[in-house]
C-alpha cells in the first residue's frame, strides 16, 4: 500500500550535456566484466553458434584475416576522396550539425572537403549517418560477415511482400513494380566529437558496424 502519493507533483531530472570519462580507467575498474567479451574461432561463427547462444548477445573478438569470416572491406589506403568518387560527388545527403542540433543538406563533395580540414579549422561538428551506397561502386568493396548476411531479413524478404506499385499505361495495360527503401549499406562520416542520440534502428533491427578510421564509442 502506498500512502501520500501525489500525482500532481512533477520532478525533472537534469542530465549533463557532456560526460567525461577515461576508457582505460573504465576497463580497469572492478565494475568491468572482462568475461563479457568472448573469443571464438572464425569457423565457430555460424548458425549453430547463433542458435546455441540465443543470438549474438555478447561482444565477440576474432584475431584472424577478415576473409575467414566471409567479409570484405576497403583497404587501409582508402580515404574520404574515394567515397565521393564511387558514390557521386554531387550526391545530396542529410547532415546533422551537433554544434547547434540542426539538420542541413550537403553535397557529398562538400562533406569530404569539410572532414579533410584540421579540427581547429571546422566551425561546425558535422554528423552524417544516412549515406546509403547499395547502388554505387562502393558496394563492391564492402561485404558483411557471412553469418550476418545469412541472418539478414532484408536480403531474404520475399518479393511478394515488398511494397508494390501498379502503373497504368495509356494503352490500357498495366505493370506491377516493386519499390522498397534500400537500407543495406550505410557509410557514416562524422567529425571528432560528434554524438548520435539514443535511437532504435529500422523496426528494431540489428546493425553490423565496421570502424574504418578513427573510433566510435557506444554507451
Q: What is the pLDDT of residues 153-183, one digit of tens each?
A: 878 877 777 766 778 888 887 776 666 767 7
The x, y and z cell numbers of residue 130, run together, are 544516412
Cβ atoms < 10 Å from Cβ of 6: 6
Q: Phi first, then psi: what are they for 89, rounded to 5°?
A: -65, -30
Specify the CATH number for the domain of residue 187. Answer: 2.60.120.650
Please report the DSSP string for 54-108 in residue order.
TSS-S-EE--S-GGGGT-B---TT--HHHHHHHH-TT-EEEEEETTTTEEEEEEH
pLDDT grade for 73, boundaries at 50, 70 and 90: very high
pLDDT at 15 > cutoff 60:
no
Domain that holds residue 86: 23-194
62 within a domain of the structure (yes/no):
yes
Domain count, the chain: 1
The answer as to whether 91 is a domain residue is: yes
How far apart are the C-alpha atoms of 24 and 46, rounded to whole Å? 32
Indicate whether 147 pLDDT > 90: yes
- pLDDT confidence bin for 3, thresholds 50/70/90: very low
Q: Is residue 179 part of a domain?
A: yes
How sure is the predictor about 7, in pLDDT bands with cuts at 50, 70 and 90?
very low
The pLDDT of residue 8 is 52
CA angle 50, 70, 49 (to 5 degrees): 15
The pLDDT assigned to 1 comes to 44
pLDDT reported for residue 5: 44
Query: For residue 68, is it within any domain?
Result: yes
Residue 82 lies in a domain: yes
Q: What is the pLDDT of residues 85-95, one digit of tens each?
A: 999 999 999 99
The pLDDT of residue 151 is above 80: yes
Average pLDDT over residues 6-15: 52
In a domain, 136, yes or no: yes
Residue 146 lies in a domain: yes
Q: Is residue 131 a part of any domain in this protein?
A: yes
Amino acid at each position: 500500500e502506498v500512502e501520500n502519493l501525489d500525482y500532481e507533483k512533477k520532478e525533472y531530472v537534469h542530465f549533463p550535456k557532456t560526460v567525461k570519462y577515461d576508457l582505460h580507467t573504465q576497463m580497469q575498474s572492478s565494475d568491468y566484466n572482462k568475461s563479457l567479451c568472448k573469443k571464438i574461432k572464425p569457423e565457430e561463427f555460424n548458425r549453430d553458434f547463433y542458435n546455441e547462444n540465443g543470438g549474438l548477445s555478447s561482444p565477440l573478438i576474432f584475431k584472424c584475416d577478415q576473409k575467414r569470416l566471409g567479409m570484405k572491406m576497403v583497404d587501409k589506403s582508402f580515404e574520404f576522396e574515394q567515397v565521393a568518387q564511387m558514390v557521386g560527388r554531387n550526391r545530396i545527403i542529410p547532415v546533422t550539425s551537433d554544434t547547434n542540433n540542426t539538420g542541413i543538406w550537403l553535397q557529398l563533395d562538400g562533406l569530404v572537403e569539410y572532414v579533410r580540414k584540421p579540427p581547429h579549422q571546422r566551425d561546425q561538428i558535422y554528423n552524417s549517418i544516412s549515406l546509403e551506397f547499395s547502388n554505387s561502386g562502393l558496394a563492391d568493396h564492402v561485404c558483411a560477415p557471412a553469418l550476418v548476411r545469412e541472418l539478414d531479413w532484408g536480403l531474404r524478404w520475399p518479393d511478394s511482400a515488398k511494397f508494390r506499385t501498379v502503373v497504368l499505361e495509356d494503352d490500357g495495360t498495366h505493370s506491377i513494380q516493386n519499390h522498397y527503401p534500400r537500407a543495406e549499406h550505410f557509410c557514416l562520416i562524422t567529425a571528432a566529437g560528434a554524438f548520435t542520440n539514443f535511437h532504435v534502428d529500422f523496426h528494431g533491427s540489428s546493425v553490423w558496424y565496421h570502424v574504418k578510421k578513427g573510433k566510435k564509442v557506444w554507451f
